[in-house]
Structure 1
Amino acid sequence: MTQKASGFTLTELMIALVLGLFLTGVTLSLYLSGDKTSQLNQQLTTLNEATRSGYTLLAQDIRRAGYSGCGNSVRLVNLSLNAVAGQPWAVWNLGIQGFEQPAPAINGVTPEPNSDALRLMFAAGRSYAVVAHDAAAASLQLNADTGFVAGDLLLLCDETLSSIFVASAVAGDRVEHQAGVVNCSSGLGFPRLCDGTAGNIRQFSTNASLMRLDSVSWYVATSADGLTLSLYRAQDDAEAEEVVYGVEDFQLQFLAGPDDVWQDADAIADWAEVLAVRVSLLLQPPAGAELAPASRTLSYNITLRNRG
């Protein structure tokens, strides 16, 4: 008796092969899609972490804006020649000033023309007590070596006045505030008298404090690698630090005026009225990701602490 051979026909084998290829393709597609999503999520997480770090530093600067020490006296005089010459990093302007796009050059760098910029000033660091002030000799003796150097921007304050000047010379616990190439006069009194010599003399007592005055600017400019834009922080007149890589835009509004409304920088008539800053950052999407601007925009409202 003859037995029939058992097995698959050619048609069945072809169908099985096609089904197998289809399932393999679907599995591979799901794997690649999942891997791409995982990579995208990792990139977004890294970007958000970097942005949060940058925001923390920015918020800290904004909250400290206008701090002039010693109870934050309203009266303040700026003797720095940079202030007289109008250099924006040295002008007090009540500790805050925004620049509507296009922002002016900052420390020799031109910000992205479609982006705003922000400058903040505040007393910072260790406070040194005045042991003796020889106003005639424009010399301060302090309670400890300061570590300051000639050319540092400093703030001297007591309960009624804060005076900004540039250290003309430093030796241990002594700091001088001579007139000349750095200060418009040696006198630290209010109102400012820039006569090139003594000016308006003010004798500070032993309850006065001396601190460094920080002036920082925030803006968006071309990244260090030249491939995109980044958020930068420039301190005094030093080279700026690249804080957040991949920030396309930096927009600002200020809560100010008698009605406490949000306004652009060019609408602010009196920076003393500014109570808060609204910061909006537009982040660059990770490579290969298609994200709408709304999903890449981070906004924060930050309140100034040093307002009466």
Structure 2
Amino acid sequence: MRLQRGVTLTELLIALMLGLLLLGGVLGVYLSNQTTARTTEDLSNLQNRIRLAFQVMSYDLRSAGFLGCNNSERVVSVVQIAGANPVWLNWQGGLMGTAADAANNESIRLMYAAGRSSSVVTHVPPRLNLNQQSELSVGDLGVVCDDTLTSIFQVSAVGNNWLEHAAVGLNCSADLGFNNPFLCNVPRTRLYPVDAMMMRFETVRWFACEPCEVDAKPQLVI
């Protein structure tokens, strides 16, 4: 009869130790790959967010200062708030930087005319009759311009192919004319001619924060 020998306890312990060392190495490589994959995915997501943010911001930057007509130096706003001077009323060419606030966030404010344009058919203050239905609603900010002047106002009423800029709400006056310095109570009657352009007025604020959250988004502040 042939003798059958098993492994000794020492050999078994050595085999188990070698197996554990091999398994530990495999697990280490697996966990390292998992960490690398998560880091790569997070970096890719961050790059996508940054790319999207720059795409949106580039549109605002290209639009900054656009008012539809060649008159950027003559702009009047009848939108006023008693006892306050909100920065979004300060035109300054449509681009304004803001120093760091209490949270150490610097920002830039961009202003421009946007949306679908309409042409003025007749202007009998406070009503602007248009060639088509305006996309603006009551309470929106509107901008009307011709080759010599741009006026910013709050829409007080909207109807079929017309809107109004009456002296209600944020409008300190129904007169859209220009004076320098601007005094709202001084008559500045202005009739916009046929084919003057009517659009929506946009004001957007972009923050440069330190540190920023990964999901931080641009804010529209009015």
Secondary structure of 2:137's partner?
Answer: coil
Secondary structure of 1:165's partner?
Answer: strand
CA distance in 1, matches of 2:94, 2:83: 16
CA gap 1:84/1:158 in 2 versus in 1, 3 angstroms: farther
CA distance in 2, matches of 1:236, 1:117: 11
The amino acid that maps onto 2:101 is: P
CA distance in 2, matches of 1:186, 1:37: 63
Corresponding residue number in structure 2 for 1:55:
54
Secondary structure of 2:120's partner?
Answer: strand
1:130-145 → structure 2 map (5 Å cutoff): 130-134=120-124, 137-145=125-133
2:173 is the alignment partner of 1:174: no
1:1-308 → structure 2 map (5 Å cutoff): 5-6=4-5, 8-71=7-70, 73-82=72-81, 85-102=84-101, 113-134=103-124, 137-191=125-179, 193-196=182-185, 199-219=187-207, 231-235=216-220, 237=222
Shift of 1:16: 2.0
Q: How many residues in Structure 1 have an aligned counterpart in Structure 2?
A: 218
Larger Rg: 2
CA gap 1:15/1:51 in 2 versus in 1, 3 angstroms: same
Q: TM-score scaled by structure 1?
A: 0.64
Deviates more, 1:67-76 or 1:204-213: 67-76
Q: Which has the higher contact order (CA 8 A, sep 6+)?
A: 2
Shift of 1:220: 6.7
Shift of 1:97: 1.4
The amino acid that maps onto 1:126 is: R
Shift of 1:43: 1.9
CA distance in 2, matches of 1:20, 1:147: 73
Q: TM-score scaled by structure 2?
A: 0.86
The amino acid that maps onto 1:88 is: V
Superposed CA deviations along residues 212-270 of structure 1, whole A, max 9, x for unmatched, are 0001112378xxxxxx6753433353xxxxxxxxxxxxxxxxxxxxxxxxxxxxxxxxx
Shift of 1:35: 1.1
CA distance in 1, matches of 2:168, 2:135: 22
- The unaligned stretches of length 5 or more in structure 2 are none
CA gap 1:83/1:128 in 2 versus in 1, 3 angstroms: farther
CA distance in 2, matches of 1:236, 1:207: 32
CA distance in 1, matches of 2:144, 2:82: 16
Superposed CA deviations along residues 137-185 of structure 1, whole A, max 9, x for unmatched, are 3211000111322221111111121111111222121111222442222
CA distance in 2, matches of 1:83, 1:71: 31
Corresponding residue number in structure 2 for 1:301:
none
CA gap 1:63/1:73 in 2 versus in 1, 3 angstroms: same
- Note if contact 1:214-1:236 (Cα within 8 Å) is conserved in structure 2: no
Alpha-carbon RMSD: 2.5
Superposed CA deviations along residues 98-123 of structure 1, whole A, max 9, x for unmatched, are 211126xxxxxxxxx12212211100
- Note if contact 2:72-2:93 (Cα within 8 Å) is conserved in structure 1: no
- The unaligned stretches of length 5 or more in structure 1 are 104-112, 222-227, 238-308
CA distance in 2, matches of 1:84, 1:127: 33
CA distance in 2, matches of 1:208, 1:127: 10
- Note if contact 1:169-1:175 (Cα within 8 Å) is conserved in structure 2: yes
CA gap 1:13/1:195 in 2 versus in 1, 3 angstroms: closer
Shift of 1:21: 0.8
- Note if contact 1:133-1:139 (Cα within 8 Å) is conserved in structure 2: yes
